[in-house]
Structure 1
């Protein structure tokens, strides 16, 4: 009996010790010396995923991982995708990561006012995307940050950007202010792209939209410098002063030699500029010029504008810019 009692005690201690080891092994620090990226392919079961984790150095033993996962994992399946695994992440946390589908997120950002030629370059340069894209239609992308996963196509990202623009424009157009000078959503995008390029001050957007709306109503030329540059560079920075020949050029964009809107947008406008065009400020202003502080000063008459321009010139001369 004494021998049987000792054997029982030994067995119990061994079981307790084994359980404690299993719990420690499952929940303790993993072997990865640095952060890792592991991609679990669609259709991969737990065993195949474990093999990938072992090969990447995230776990010590695929078979042990599978064994413990079946005991401690709760029976929830894993999800395919690209996962960022932190250094020394435990097997328990790795399984939770795979079960929760918290895949690694990558982003490509289209800033407000970015022309499509530069948006194309950004999307083509985004790592881990596949495929090529043509230059998207100007004004068709909604500026924002878009998440993607490794292996997504560039065209699928463009499609999401364009669907986002279509959805936002439809919503904004439906709640537009009555009596606008723009008569279609496309005209709104065209004018919003000009507003976007003409001011970087959020509080000025509705005033700038009012200026151009008032000019359109009166049949005046918009005379927006960015419309001169667009046919020259497709929206990229000119890098020099506008030439007189460019200012006098007659084309479908130059609003110094034509009345009305250009034939198309000159950039991808953001939400705020779209909103400004669809709800411009109540103002009679027809002109604006830089005020020397990064903003603009507005005028209802040419006489007021000329005074403001002379003040701006005086600021520039004091700065040694003229």
Structure 2
């Protein structure tokens, strides 16, 4: 398994991780038995970076991951997140909470659901605009001192916020959506800030929420409760325009002798040794396909051809509908 280092002098983890969100939420029907088998298969293959969050489910994804790693804790590097709060009366509503007392309570609850003593990487899922980042990260640093957390991370934080956070405690990783159709970290200064501060970038949705695999041909391919039905990039004219981009990815992948998913993941990993990716899947077969991306090496000419076919801002539609899940803070 290829590994990459998280942050300055941090741990070596698998270059490709496993995003576990879809095993419990947002992407329609799921099968816990197959999901657990997929996590076990990942560990067997040497993939150790497992990514979850307390809001996935909510809460049920952490329980699922906890069951899967029972008896195999030493093989797994567990990343989870706090900060997005879901309204039990309105499944679509989102809030953000970065108050120190909430940080401490959320960590204890995640530890209990995961069935572990220490979280390897603890992210603030979204920055709370009502709480100075110094206060939130200060509370997170107390968790490190208490032995409840090993490393700290932020998600969708701006370069300015990241720099402020690093003055309180070292930040090992910044998580952001990053893929061929979401190039924001390259254009908004986030990746540059990570490199200035020695922070790794962990790319979530590196397959464009499954679109870049080429397997999605119509919005009707989604289950009735799949949130992508209401995502701007999967609706109406945006869907048709984005599908044309995917056709170009498929053609480039065919020339390379790999799958579209492998080409898309190889592109992300080629952006630097400080970039990791956490594609999500619920099936062992897809996991094996994704891991095949580690064998795909892209030269400068191939990277140039991919950029020409899929330049920044080429994707049609916003990343999210307006909700607490978006966006990068100021």
More helix by share: 1
Give the TM-score taking structure 1 as reference length: 0.21
More strand by share: 2
Higher relative contact order (CA 8 A, sep 6+): 2
